[in-house]
Structure 1
Amino acid sequence: MTCGCRDQRAEIGDLGHLLVLAKSPECQHIIQSIIDHLPCGVTLFDQNLEMIACNGLFRRLLDFPATLFEGSLPSMKSLALFNAQRGEYGPGDPAELAGQVVQRAMAMKPHQFERIRPDGTILEISGQPLPSGGFITLYTDITERREAEETLRDKEGLLRLIFDNSSVAIFTIDSSGRIGAANQRMAEMFMMPLESLIGMEYVDLVDPGEQEAARKNMADHLIQDRPNVNLERHYWRSNGTAFWGQLTASHMPAYKDGHAGLVCVVSDITERKIAEQHLAERSHELEVLNLELTKAVEALAASNAELVAAREELEHLARHDTLTGAWSRSRIEESVRQEMLRNSRYGHPVSLIFIDLDHFKRINDGYGHAVGDEVLKSFCDIAQKCMRSTDLLGRWGGEEFVIVTPNSGLMIAILLAERIRKAVMAYDFPVAGHITASFGVAEYRENETWESWLCRSDAALYAAKEGGRNRVITDACEADEADEAELLDLSFLRLVWRSTYESGLAAIDAQHRNLFEHANNLLTSVIGERPKDEVLPQIESLVMDLLEHFRDEEAAFRSIGYPGADEHAQIHQGLIDRAGELVENFASGELALGDLFNFLAYDVVAKHMLSEDRKFFGHLQAVRDTAV
């Protein structure tokens, strides 16, 4: 903390009569008012070391209690003793320490010293003797000033440490363009003694080819308060070598003698520039390589496209018959095994149609193999037009073909076979004229082998050929399937009611015959490809009659105590639920009429009545026999 007290010390010597004035009552008030407004503590002692005057700042700076000043002002001796007792002068005997202070005061010599009080406050104490005896003392709190000076010294030391140990060159340039100060790193970087650098022109360190540009840029920067300069320079060393430096320069408005200057930092970026050059060269090499690689990739892509096309062609040849375009035998077998697996997992039905063109040898012998080949291709076209998108046509060998019908029971497969048979019979083949085909149909049985299934369809085809050709025959190797086969009169393609289907309950048998008739009407619509709005009422009528029949049938077998009543009722409910779902899908266009017919006519009317219902019929007959 600074004050103007020091400027007053020279004037104090001229105050020869200050003690006289201070003792004068009329002047004492004026003196007290003056010292109370001074920015430092003030005491005035006479030649006997008795205090004549002091201000309040003195008492506050030395933390004197008010009791010391009650009644009259204390003497130097009493103040010194008080300070010694409270440790103001450090360790030791208080009386002895106080005596030393008084002895120094009695010497009446000018003095100035600093004292650190116990609380850390630093006081600058300045005493001046008066010509007429006595002395005046000024007390100034310089704690903040000393702390600022210490901080400044620390910062200066830190800056000097950074300056001297920096990894970059740091230097200043004065208004004439000469180096004013520089650190050791600059001497190392330019390979020159530090004393040689001081005072030399900065541009002498720059590549001769860039010196004029550097001089102009530096002059502009010195004249104007421009933003920091940040650029790359090519520098020369004293030994003739060169290096690249990254220069950063900042403007200093008042550097020396009020003139502007620059503070500059240079970092050696030679390795970076070399790396950038190598990178540019490598980048160019990579661009060339990339261009060559792109061409190679394009060539490989073209070659790969050819290989893919060739592979696809080979796969096509492996999966398709080269003459007709139908699936190959191996592809059909692969598809069949997938459908067999789907049947075992989800219960989806699947049927097989085995086809043989009638008297095909006569065509080859009579017209030649070229005409025979055209007949085979035309037959495949006819069959494809009759088939659904999910059906698969394959050439089995010679004039034999196989059709796999996924998700289709026996009735759907029979309808498809009949449709193809009629289309082939109606077609006028070029040169060969009209020909016919025979068909054998078999539905896959649960857990059956492919060989067994194929054998059954082949046996049905053989039966069709033995029966006069140009017909569709289904396989019927088991007793229950024989009865189902009898349902189909292939000449008229209708379900035929037989007396062996009767249960003995007139109402139930009448309902069964009615359902057969419903199925035949629906079959006629399927074959005739009637529109949906005409067929839908038929379907709804069939489902309503089916509901009524199931209800009456359940009442009948419960009345006679049929043990399978609950299980049979559950089967009924499952069929009704499935029928409702399929009818809804048909109405929305998601299901073909043929698929719906297969379920209603074949699964419900034919299969259920001739398998599950016969269990009930047997129990009814047993009840009658017991009654007799």
Structure 2
Amino acid sequence: MRSIADHLSSGLLVVDPELTVMAWNRWMTEHAEIAPETAIGQRLEALFPACPVATLKRRVKAALQLQSPSYLQPRKGYLFPVALDRIIDSHFTYMQQRIRILPNENAPHSAIIVIDDVTATREAEARAAEAADVSRRYLELIDNNVMTLGVDTEGRVTRASSALLQASGWTAEILRGTSLDTLGLGQLDVDEIAADDKLPERPVQRADGSTLWVRVRKARGLEDKEGDEQYLVLQDISLQMEIQALSERDTLTGAYNRMKFDQLLQAALSAETRYGQHFSLILCDIDHFKRINDNHGHLAGDGILKQFTSLLQSQIRSSDQLARWGGEEFVVLLPMTNAQEATAAAEKLRQAISTQSWPPIGKLSASFGVAFHVPNESADALLDRADGALYQAKEAGRDRVRLADSAAGEDN
């Protein structure tokens, strides 16, 4: 077993619930530059003083208690500081890591911590984001006059470019004299659209009845001298809208994915800072989900996850945001909701789940952790408190709701 572990391209160490090292593979030796004889028998905080001990212990105990994998997204992007001395001009100083915590089947009172090097992926994502920003500005310059509409002072089309005619399927004769509202652009006030403002996104109705999503801007320098006609530039964003929808959604359940939820959570934090709009979080986890997969198969488990998502979506408000957090764990963001209201919302979800029929297993339950955001609390600290409350609900017997303490969580 040790020989296999030493040939892995991931870090692997075995720890007890107090984070005392029991095994240490070659990857850890090479990257942490600590020999096994030095590491084994030591606690992780002695080897890595900046290690988030409290959070890591909680995740290890959760993996052991629930006998299911636990995951940790370190706040700094890494659990163990490994300098990137082989990468030039990197966005990061230390190796970026993905942390998985697995129950050790060969030693029930120990857990396996797996460290994957995801620096290349995150480096690519960072560079892709930069490239996308450059491309957006570059294409904006190129496409300024690709699809254009001439509009008179009454908001009626005076002319359309050949690119727009080809994209929409309309003829120039039909479009001429048509109002923007009839075309599907809605009550768009041309005079209110400034070239540098946030651009309106509108659906243009094609001749065949389908929708062409466009982003609208006023063309610069093309107004006639009398001011009777102005030009709008329409940028086709149909594919972008489709890609965005796909990139934001979990492929199995259709709920928002973790990346999108992180964006929504950051927006909620900004709204609270700027406008005092408080909010709460609900973390929920399906009880004994592993048994469903083991006893009925993964297809049945997937069906349960889809039904579970639909039920949650039907029970929350239109202003609430639901995301699949990972595996059988889900998270709900509740804007303008205090702790008591969020707890009541979680209890409503719990009861709806317990009374629902769940083919082919019959009954199903879930546990809930609720946290109300406190001023100046980070996203990680808020999620950690909600996760701690969820863990308490599991320990108390599952199928229940627990509210996190109001104090901010530890920040290691």
- Shorter-normalised TM range: 0.3 to 0.5
Higher helix fraction: Structure 1 or Structure 2?
A: 1
Instruction: Please give the TM-score of this superposition, normalised by the length of structure 2.
Output: 0.43
TM-score, normalised with respect to structure 1: 0.29
Higher relative contact order by CA 8 Å / sep ≥ 6: 1 or 2?
2
Q: Which has the higher strand share?
A: 2
